Amino acid sequence: MNPVGLVIAYTLCLKSVTCKESPITSFARARREQASVVSQTREPLHGSFYILLIEQRRAKLPISSTNITMRHVKTFFDGSCEPVNPGGKAGWGFAVLVDDLFVYGIGGIVWEGAGMTNNIAEYHALIECLDYLSRDHSDDYIEVFGDSNLVVNMVNGTWGRKNPHKKAPHLLPLCLKARKLLASFDNIILQWIPREENQLADWYSKQRSNKSPLRTDSD
């Protein structure tokens, strides 16, 4: 499938940021503070610590038309649950573009039957996407796009910052895992896009709809 029209046509890059301590030092210090809080309170943080890291790093991502220092990676993720939601086959998929050139796409099945929903599939799509990026693109500037308002806003902390998925606790472990993965990147932004702009990832999420449950696209 031609990805033209699925990619937002603009160029982002980073300009240097001056600060008193490096991002690595800042991250290490934040980790020590987290450990101290956990040891003192013994209460679950519900991912709010990761939200703080995400917001701090996003604030250090100024946009510039010059000083291109790294590759620009755009990833699109999507989930599906077919032929019925809930109770169908929950599929995930994502596509990766580097400097606006398509380089990778994959889809898989979470599982099928009772308990499977589109929201579960969407979370798995994002987690699989972030896991891939952590291995191959951790040093790049990354934009992650998805059409699930729920997943994007929950993982970013816009919704359920301190108590995510109070009404759907079965989604909490997936939300916290996605928040933790997102917070591990120095240069990443997670954004919502309309469904019509996410057709490539949607296509990958449905490629296993008639196959046995698998996690990857290998036969």
pLDDT, position 160? 85
Report the greatest alpha carbon distance in the chain: 55
pTM listed for this prediction: 0.69
Q: 82 forms bridges with which residues in the sheet?
A: 89
Model confidence over 155-187: pLDDT tens digits? 999 998 888 898 899 999 999 999 999 999 999
Residue 40: how many other CB atoms lie within 10 Å: 8
Residue bearing the bigger pLDDT, 208 or 135: 135
Query: What is the pLDDT at residue 163?
Result: 83
The per-residue pLDDT for 58 is 63
Lowest mean per-residue pLDDT among 4-18, 125-139, 181-195:
4-18
Mean pLDDT over residues 53-77, rounded?
A: 67
Residues 215, 141: Cα–Cα separation, whole Å: 27
Q: What is the pLDDT of residues 72-131, one digit of tens each?
A: 999 999 999 999 999 999 999 999 999 999 999 999 999 999 999 999 999 999 999 999
pLDDT of residue 191: 97
Name the residue with higher pLDDT: 143 or 46: 143
pLDDT at 152 over 50: yes
Mean pLDDT of 181-200: 95
More confident residue, 37 or 30: 30
Domain ranges for the chain: 26-62+69-205
What's the mean per-residue pLDDT of the chain? Answer: 76
**Nearest CA to 5 among 206, 203, 200, 207?**
200
Assess contact for 144 and 191: CB atoms under 8 A. Answer: yes
pLDDT band, residue 57 (cuts 50/70/90): low
CA distance 128 to 124: 6
Work out the pLDDT band at 70, boundaries 50, 70, 90: confident
CATH number for the 26-62+69-205 domain, one of 3.30.70.60, 3.40.1190.20, 3.30.420.10, 3.40.630.10? 3.30.420.10
Predicted confidence band at 67 (pLDDT cuts at 50, 70, 90)?
very low
Q: Looking at the predicted structure, is the pLDDT value of residue 139 above 50?
A: yes
Residue 59 confidence class, pLDDT cut points 50, 70, 90: low
